[in-house]
């Protein structure tokens, strides 16, 4: 009988350890076989009634065997990944009972785990840290805040620790704005803002651009993207609304300026009443089922199939709590 490990595709008509990428401990002679027909003396023989354990250490890629709860020492080193437990039988009528954890092991595996945990903890404590370890931790925290776009926190943390922010605050705010647009489901504006602030970025990363366009399509189907909310408004670059364009829609708000072109006075964007929406629905019934006056602006509460959601976790079909934060971000960007 041979007990060991093997990779996928090894000949199962031979005992483990005889073929390449196969490892085994044989009971007739107590030898260990490492991808070879020639074995090496390893441990005692085993027979009927013995409990043989095979333990693979994934930390150092070694394997050791146990007999009746006692370790026999390391048998194999530098093991490859993706090994499968293998048992080979030669004598007719042999029966083996395998235990993969459904019942307690004879060998104290928990004590072995605690031993290795203590060993690794000691290695961590002995690891030398060059220079001032506090400054290293502070730089790690600062880089985390900058990476995730927490510009205000990063600035305050830099002042309190007497260090400089690793990225310009304007760049952090730009990334933060794009992130909020994506979380709000306003993918068209996110794409156009990215193209304006980071030219050629999407061209150099076609997979990223494709992912954003797929998400934009999903938001359009859900009715949360600006292109759908603006009742057909378009912008030159991304076919979506964006502040500064000549479209009748800006950031999800429909202006009545085109309906009152004869007037020279400037009007603030206002919501359409039910009568105007009904007339619009007559011409766009193939694309949009229904709109209410609250649908003109990107409202905080999300409406699904005509029913208002009682609560929101901030990420429901693209309509999130970030809309108000986007306005604050716009104000901050205008002050830079």
Boundaries of domain holding 282: 169-260+270-335
101 within domain boundaries:
yes
CATH number, position 95: 2.60.120.920
Rg (CA), the chain: 33
Assess whether 108 and 180 both reside in one domain: no
Complete DSSP assignment for 243-287: TTSSSSEETTEE-STGGGTT--S--------HHHHHHHHHHSTTT
Six-digit token string for 270? 């206002």
Six-digit token string for 20? 């390449």
Assess whether 105 and 181 both reside in one domain: no
Assess whether 322 and 182 both reside in one domain: yes
294 within domain boundaries:
yes
Assess whether 62 and 209 both reside in one domain: no
Assess whether 177 and 323 both reside in one domain: yes
146 within domain boundaries:
no
Instruction: For residue 32, name the pLDDT band (cuts at 50, 70, 90).
Output: very high
Assess whether 239 and 121 both reside in one domain: no
Find the mean pLDDT for residues 257-261.
Answer: 42
Find the mean pLDDT for residues 186-191.
Answer: 89
Contact 167, 316 (CB under 8 A): no
142 within domain boundaries:
no
Cα separations in angstroms, 178 against 55, 155, 169, 208, 326: 50, 20, 14, 14, 9
Assess whether 57 and 182 both reside in one domain: no
153 within domain boundaries:
no
Assess whether 89 and 179 both reside in one domain: no
Assess whether 185 and 329 both reside in one domain: yes
Assess whether 186 and 250 both reside in one domain: yes
Give 79's DSSP letter: P
Q: What is the pLDDT of residues 230-244, one digit of tens each?
A: 655 544 444 444 444
Assess whether 114 and 214 both reside in one domain: no
Six-digit token string for 186? 């306003």
pLDDT greater at residue 316 or residue 9: 9
Instruction: For residue 176, name the pLDDT band (cuts at 50, 70, 90).
Output: confident
Look-up of token digits 């490859």: 80
Mean pLDDT estimate for the chain:
74
Give how many domains the chain has, as a whole number: 2
Greatest alpha-carbon span in the chain: 103
Assess whether 43 and 119 both reside in one domain: yes
């Amino acid at each position: 009988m041979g007990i060991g490990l093997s990779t996928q595709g090894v000949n199962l008509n031979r005992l483990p350890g005889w073929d390449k990428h196969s490892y085994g401990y044989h009971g007739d002679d107590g030898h260990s076989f490492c991808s070879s027909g020639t074995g090496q003396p390893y441990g005692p023989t085993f027979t009927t009634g013995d409990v043989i354990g095979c333990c693979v250490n994934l930390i150092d890629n070694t394997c050791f065997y146990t007999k009746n709860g006692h370790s026999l020492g390391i048998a194999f080193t530098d093991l490859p990944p993706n090994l499968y437990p293998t048992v080979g039988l030669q004598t007719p009528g042999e029966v083996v009972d395998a235990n993969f954890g459904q019942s307690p092991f004879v060998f104290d595996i928990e004590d072995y785990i605690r031993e290795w945990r203590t060993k690794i903890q000691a290695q961590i404590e002995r690891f030398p840290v060059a220079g001032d370890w506090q400054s290293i931790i502070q730089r790690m925290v600062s880089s985390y805040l900058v990476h995730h776009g927490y510009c205000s926190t990063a600035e305050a943390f830099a002042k309190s620790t007497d260090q400089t922010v690793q990225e310009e605050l304007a760049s952090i705010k730009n990334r933060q704005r794009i992130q909020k647009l994506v979380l709000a489901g306003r993918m068209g504006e996110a794409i156009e803002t990215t193209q304006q602030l980071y030219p050629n970025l999407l061209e150099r990363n076609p997979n990223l651009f494709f992912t954003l366009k797929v998400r934009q399509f999903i938001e359009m189907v859900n009715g949360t993207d600006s292109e759908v909310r603006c009742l057909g408004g378009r912008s030159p670059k991304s076919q979506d609304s964006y502040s500064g364009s000549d479209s009748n829609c800006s950031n999800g708000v429909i202006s009545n300026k085109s309906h009152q072109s004869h007037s020279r006075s400037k009007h603030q964007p206002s919501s359409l009443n039910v009568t105007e929406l009904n007339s619009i629905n007559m011409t766009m019934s193939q694309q949009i089922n229904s709109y209410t006056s609250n649908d003109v602006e990107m409202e905080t509460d999300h409406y699904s199939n005509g029913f208002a959601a009682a609560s929101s976790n901030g990420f429901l079909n693209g309509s999130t709590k970030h809309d108000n934060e986007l306005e604050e971000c716009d104000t901050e960007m205008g002050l830079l």
